């Protein structure tokens, strides 16, 4: 029953490159910028524990499912879902899953490139020595000053959008693949270096305690949902990015081992980033719950004090930008592939259209930090919120888990088990296949549904 299709967009040159590219997609702002501040806002250890459980029981099986669907369909997620639904004699409406993914992709890209723009701007700050003598207060002031200036942030948002477009326009082999080959290994090396610095701050133990000592009284309902949402965000799941990368995967490589490797590297990077950042936060009397500014405020203090800080600070923000870059290309690839397939557009035009739209939408996030925040009452407390929070929550806590749920249901219940076993390269009777099937049919869907009910307060 094996159906062998080929992708019109090309293929990764090896299994190793697929791993690098998918890891490049997974490892991004989510690991280095978002994970630490979310853990900080949600009290640390308990959040981290729930997040790790979500990765293992929900993220990994759904990631295998998403790669599998992509490789079997070998097209953009919308068309992949159309052909796979036809193969399975299922409703053609499954292709709506691809559309939801494209919409999520636009929303995510719109804020992602603004935040990546902050990182880009901080490269310049670092190299010009602005971090010298930073204290907690002066670092926070500098950060707030930067993000609240829409003219400046729009400039960097534009630059990052162009960088992303250039890579995607070049295509799978000479664009996406070349970028990840160089960028990923450098990033790993630099993180290890920062970890070394954090160990020497004298607050390493306190950092570990914060990250790994689970106190569930500190974890709210929203915190639990955020941990699940973040598991999807950090693994790039639920919107077709991993599906489209899977559609460029060589036919023979094992989906299970590649997926484990990707998830393990992604988790490792997030944990190392947390272990590097929290000691610096505590050593400088900063608030772990400081929110989106956490990394941009805490690390510059360290760079401003350490020997060689000019070099390391510059390198760090260069690499944060690189990590974001290799992720951003995967966020827009599903929509670009679709336009090329169905509208007969050239890759360059398609990329221009997609990046252009996301850029315009990104201006909302620019303004969200640049003065359009609004105050509202929530559970009796006054909160300031902005469009960024709405976009972030709508995608991370809602659309991605929903997309992931649909992927799990399709792979687990709609596709014939002979077909999924064939694509995974596992015998239907093997323990590994059976375990995956139980996870993808029952555990992962039930997990997502329970989390939704929990956040609604039903359970």
- Least CB distance to ligand TRP at residue 211 (A): 18
Binding mask 31-60 for ligand TRP (x = CB under 6 A): x-----------------------------
41: left (phi over 0), alpha (psi -120 to 50) or beta: alpha
The DSSP code for 39 is: H
Nearest to 266 by CA among 447, 52, 3: 52
CB of 77 to ligand TRP, least distance (A): 11
The dihedrals phi and psi of 350, each to the nearest 5 degrees, come to -60, -45
Least distance in angstroms from the C-beta of 278 to ligand TRP: 19
Comparing CB distances to ligand TRP, the nearer of 245 and 369 is 245
Q: How far is the CB of 146 from ligand TRP (least distance, A)?
A: 20
Q: Which stretch binds ligand TRP (CB under 6 A): 119-127, 235-243, 294-302, 369-377?
A: 235-243
Burial class (CB in 10 A: 0-12, 13-18, 19+), 448: buried
> What SS3 state is found at 374?
strand
**Closer residue to ligand TRP (CB): 17 or 323:** 323
Rounded to an integer, what distance in angstroms lies between the CA atom of residue 176 and that of residue 168?
6
Residue 30 interacting with ligand TRP (CB under 6 A): yes
Asked if 233 touches ligand TRP (CB under 6 A), the answer is yes
List the one residue from 29, 277, 319, 387 that touches ligand TRP (CB under 6 A): 29
9 versus 437: smaller Cβ distance to ligand TRP: 9
Contact mark string toward ligand TRP, 178..217, x via CB under 6 A = ----------------------------------------
- CA distances 251 to 26, 77, 420, Å, are 21, 18, 14
Query: How far apart are CB 400 and ligand TRP at their closest, in Å?
Result: 6
Q: How far is the CB of 240 from ligand TRP (least distance, A)?
A: 8
Fill in the per-residue mask, 63 to 102: x = in contact with ligand TRP (CB under 6 A), - = not in contact: ----------------------------------------
Residue nearer to ligand TRP on the CB measure, 140 or 190: 190
CA–CA gap between residue 65 and residue 73 (Å, rounded) = 12
Residue 385 bridge partners (DSSP): 374
Stretch that binds ligand TRP, among 22-30, 157-165, 210-218, 310-318 (CB under 6 A): 22-30
26 binds ligand TRP (CB under 6 A): yes
d(CA 142, CA 26): 29
Rule CB under 6 A: choose which of 22, 108, 315, 426 binds ligand TRP: 108
Contacts with ligand TRP by CB under 6 A: the residue count is 16
What is the H or E stretch that residue 256 is in? Answer: helix 255-283
- Do 253 and 18 touch, CB atoms closer than 8 A? yes
Do residues 451 and 226 touch, judged by C-beta distance below 8 A? no
- Identity of the residue, 29 or 140, whose beta carbon is nearer to ligand TRP in the bound complex: 29
Interatomic CA distance for residues 138 and 123, integer angstroms: 18
Residue written as tokens 């996030």? 365
Q: x/- binding map, residues 315-344, to ligand TRP, per CB under 6 A?
A: ------------x--xx-------------
* Chain centre to alpha carbon of residue 62: 15
H or E stretch including 85? helix 77-87
d(CA 383, CA 393): 15
Measuring CA to CA, how many Å separate 36 from each of 33, 223, 299, 388?
6, 13, 12, 18
CB-based burial label for 458 (10 Å; 0-12, 13-18, 19+): exposed
Q: Which residue has the tokens 């003219």?
A: 151
Q: By CB under 6 A, is residue 397 in contact with ligand TRP?
A: no
Residue 110 interacts with ligand TRP (CB under 6 A)? no
d(CA 180, CA 326): 6
Q: Is 17 in the site for ligand TRP (CB under 6 A)?
A: no
Least distance to ligand TRP, CB of residue 78, Å? 15
- Among 11, 18, 28, 303, which residue sits at the site for ligand TRP (rule: CB under 6 A)? 28
The answer to the question of residue 241 lying near ligand TRP (CB under 6 A) is: yes
Chain positions contacting ligand TRP, by CB under 6 A: 25-26, 28-31, 108, 233-234, 236, 239, 241, 327, 330-331, 400
């Amino acid at each position: 029953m094996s159906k062998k299709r080929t992708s019109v967009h090309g293929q990764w040159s090896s299994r190793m490159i697929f791993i690098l590219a998918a890891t490049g997609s997974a490892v991004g702002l989510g690991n280095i910028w978002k994970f630490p501040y979310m853990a900080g806002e949600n009290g640390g250890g308990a959040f981290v524990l729930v997040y790790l459980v979500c990765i293992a029981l929900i993220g990994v099986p759904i990631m295998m499912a998403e790669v599998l669907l992509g490789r079997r369909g070998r097209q953009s997620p919308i068309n992949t879902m159309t052909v796979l639904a036809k193969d399975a004699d299922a409703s053609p409406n499954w292709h709506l899953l691809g559309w939801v993914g494209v919409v999520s992709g636009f929303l995510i890209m719109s804020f992602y490139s603004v935040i990546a723009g902050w990182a880009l701007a901080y490269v310049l700050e670092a190299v010009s020595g602005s971090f010298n003598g930073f204290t907690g207060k002066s670092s926070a002031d500098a950060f707030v000053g930067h993000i609240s200036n829409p003219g400046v942030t729009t400039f960097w948002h534009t630059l990052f959008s162009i960088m992303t477009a250039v890579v995607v326009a070049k295509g799978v082999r000479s664009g996406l693949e070349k970028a990840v080959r160089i960028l990923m290994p450098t990033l790993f090396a630099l993180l290890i270096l920062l970890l070394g610095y954090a160990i020497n701050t004298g607050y390493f133990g306190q950092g570990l305690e914060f990250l790994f000592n689970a106190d569930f009284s500190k974890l709210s309902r929203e915190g639990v949902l955020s941990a699940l949402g973040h598991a999807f965000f950090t693994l790039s799941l639920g919107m077709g990015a991993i599906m489209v990368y899977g559609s460029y995967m060589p036919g023979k490589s094992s989906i299970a081992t590649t997926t484990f490797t990707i998830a393990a590297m992604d988790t490792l990077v997030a944990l190392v980033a947390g272990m590097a950042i929290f000691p610096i936060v505590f050593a400088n009397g900063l608030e772990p719950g400081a929110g989106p500014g956490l990394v941009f405020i805490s690390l510059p203090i360290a760079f401003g004090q350490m020997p060689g800080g000019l070099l390391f600070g510059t390198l760090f923000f260069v690499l944060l930008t690189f990590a974001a870059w290799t992720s951003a290309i995967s966020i827009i690839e599903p929509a670009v592939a679709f336009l090329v397939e169905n509208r007969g557009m050239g890759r360059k035009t398609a990329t221009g259209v997609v990046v252009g739209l996301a850029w315009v939408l990104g201006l909302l996030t620019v303004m969200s930090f640049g003065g359009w925040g609004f105050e509202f009452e929530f559970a009796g407390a006054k909160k300031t919120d902005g469009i960024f929070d709405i976009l972030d929550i709508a995608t991370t806590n809602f659309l991605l888990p929903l997309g992931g749920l649909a992927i799990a249901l399709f792979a687990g219940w709609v596709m014939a088990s002979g077909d999924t076993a064939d694509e995974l390269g596992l015998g239907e009777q093997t323990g590994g296949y059976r375990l995956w099937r139980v996870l993808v049919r029952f555990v992962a869907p039930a997990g997502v549904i329970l989390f939704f009910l929990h956040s609604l307060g039903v359970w």
